[in-house]
Chain A
């Protein structure tokens, strides 16, 4: 215990005011499409560009999509009927599941082709209107030309480990607050 007057008032006052926000990242230009057709209908693109980027994105899909050891876990994250079997097996020989590719993102034509690789996009069950990268980064709901965080434009990683989720939290749904 110490005398209250010796304690810094500023310290305590500041505590509640510190917001736990992430730093704003610089944004880069990108284009997002649900399908080749939508890409082609955008006058900024040529049919070749659309087909090339779609091919690039879909060829990465199986490697970079998040993996799950059960269809339920995958659907919990991405929604009913929004998952498929991945062309992999778990170490014990079980099936592996991944979300369906729901769109793709390509680099800005303005910024010069090759500045960004095309990559597959997904939609989560929680916010089905937005697109997410395979790294689970939200890139917004807008199709066509848009701006995305620079880190979202980097190449997604290969996901070899299967994931399951939702193994914690059931007691809270039953009992409510954990407070004692």
Chain B
């Protein structure tokens, strides 16, 4: 794995406009950096990344399989009792999942380590599947990068192929908070993929979803929502006013309810508990577990809220000293402790490898660089190539 500096394409402002992305003079496209790229060997991709990621996905399924039959585990994850049967049923019925992104620490050699699994509301999807791919094509054409560069990027085709297999009966409604441009942009892209796959779709703001007299969710025109593709976390909708109506609503949710188990950082101690010592896992414990205290005493760990987003409320302790701490709105929630496996530093950037799974197959890579050890809102996507 190398970080290689490269000339940017000359017309970034136009490219940004074409993709409806923000472009700031001297800074480039917001959230995107093509002044360098990461280069991997095919062996690194297949043996170190996609292989282990699909293996971890299977371990995750074993965790779900155990969790749905174990009330103690479900309550430890903070999932309210009215949803236990609902989640268990969605798993037993084999409700299909669309996508997710595993965030990994990788140093170019040695086993990759799972830092967390964004299994419910992953973003940076458009940057991965469209922007990064277009960069590869154009950078090759402009001879900015060597001939013959490949990319792990079947994200778009995979999503288009999987939509018709999700058992969607009629129209699907795509919902998120429309005030957040990034969320809306990602969801619009997913909606385009669904349309390309021949599905009927329409978009709705989460706040505009209604409930009718028979407990069904309806859209603004009073039409019943049969399938809801949401970019809105399970833990939020379960806790909101309409949450209690979800299990009896008859609405199909994508991602399916059982993803609530995987999108929770409580997944990490559950994985470690079942597969302790697995080369791709870091030790992890629920904070209220007595083992966590002993683990913390050893002096190096990362403390994360079970439910947090974009690097908020993370604390890193190394050799007894706090070396990183971020604010956020999740500080009062339950936490986990995880082993500290720092991201590598390449040219002052800390690259976090995001591996995209579509229908549980590892089909894309998205590298985000931040100036700190914890990848947050200011991180930027940076393209990658495969070249032997």
Size of interface on A: residues with Cβ below 8 Å to B: 41
Given known pairs A4-B150, A4-B151, the reply for A177 and B183 (CB within 8 Å) is: yes
Inter-subunit contact B240/A168 (CB<8 Å)? yes
Bound complex: CA A35 to CA B146 (Å): 72
Tell me the B198-226 residues at the A interface (CB within 8 Å). 203, 205-214, 218, 220-222
| CB neighbours of A1 from chain B (8 A) | 45-46, 50, 150, 152, 154, 386
Counting CB contacts under 8 A, is B20 at the interface?
A: yes
Counting CB contacts under 8 A, is A110 at the interface?
A: no
Cross-interface CB contact of A3 among B118, B150, B186, cutoff 8 Å: B150
Cross-interface CB contact of A159 among B183, B222, B240, B245, cutoff 8 Å: B222
Counting CB contacts under 8 A, is B231 at the interface?
A: yes
Counting CB contacts under 8 A, is B329 at the interface?
A: yes
| Complex: chain A residue closest to B126, CB-CB | A16
Cross-interface CB contact of B130 among A3, A7, A15, A159, cutoff 8 Å: A15
Inter-subunit contact A180/B222 (CB<8 Å)? no
Inter-subunit contact B118/A13 (CB<8 Å)? no
Inter-subunit contact A169/B177 (CB<8 Å)? yes
Task: Give chain B's interface secondary structure class.
Answer: mixed
Bound complex: CA A159 to CA B183 (Å): 33
Inter-subunit contact A15/B232 (CB<8 Å)? no
Chain B 117-132 near chain A by CB (<8 Å), digits 1 or 0? 0101111101000100
Inter-subunit contact A169/B207 (CB<8 Å)? yes
| CB neighbours of A15 from chain B (8 A) | 130, 156, 189, 192, 196
Cross-interface CB contact of B192 among A18, A136, A179, cutoff 8 Å: A18
Inter-subunit contact A165/B133 (CB<8 Å)? no
Would you give the shortest CB distance from B139 to chain A, in whole angstroms? 11
Counting CB contacts under 8 A, is A176 at the interface?
A: yes
Counting CB contacts under 8 A, is A164 at the interface?
A: yes
Bound complex: CA A171 to CA B237 (Å): 8
Inter-subunit contact B309/A163 (CB<8 Å)? no
Tell me the A1-35 residues at the B interface (CB within 8 Å). 1-4, 7, 9, 11-13, 15-18, 20
Task: Give chain A's interface secondary structure class.
Answer: loop
Bound complex: CA A175 to CA B333 (Å): 13
Chain A 35-64 near chain B by CB (<8 Å), digits 1 or 0? 000000000000000000000000000000
Size of interface on B: residues with Cβ below 8 Å to A: 74
Counting CB contacts under 8 A, is B298 at the interface?
A: no
Given known pairs A2-B154, A4-B137, A135-B221, the reply for A172 and B236 (CB within 8 Å) is: yes
| CB neighbours of B133 from chain A (8 A) | 4, 7, 12
Bound complex: CA A20 to CA B153 (Å): 24
| Highest count of chain B CB atoms <10 Å: which of A1, A3, A13, A166 | A1
Counting CB contacts under 8 A, is B76 at the interface?
A: no
| CB neighbours of B329 from chain A (8 A) | 174-175
Chain A 107-148 near chain B by CB (<8 Å), digits 1 or 0? 000000000000000000000000000011000000000000
CB pairs A–B below 8 angstroms (20 shown): A1-B46, A1-B150, A4-B133, A4-B137, A7-B133, A7-B157, A13-B134, A163-B211, A165-B208, A167-B240, A168-B206, A169-B177, A170-B240, A171-B239, A172-B236, A178-B233, A179-B122, A179-B180, A180-B121, A180-B309
- In addition to A16-B130, A163-B212, A180-B310, 10 A-B residue pairs with Cβ atoms within 8 Å of each other are A1-B154, A18-B196, A136-B220, A161-B214, A165-B210, A167-B241, A170-B240, A175-B329, A176-B180, A177-B177
Binding site for B on A (CB under 8 A): 1-4, 7, 9, 11-13, 15-18, 20, 66, 69, 90-91, 135-136, 159-172, 174-180
- 7 smallest beta-carbon distances between A and B, as pairs: A167-B242, A169-B207, A171-B236, A179-B123, A172-B177, A161-B213, A180-B118
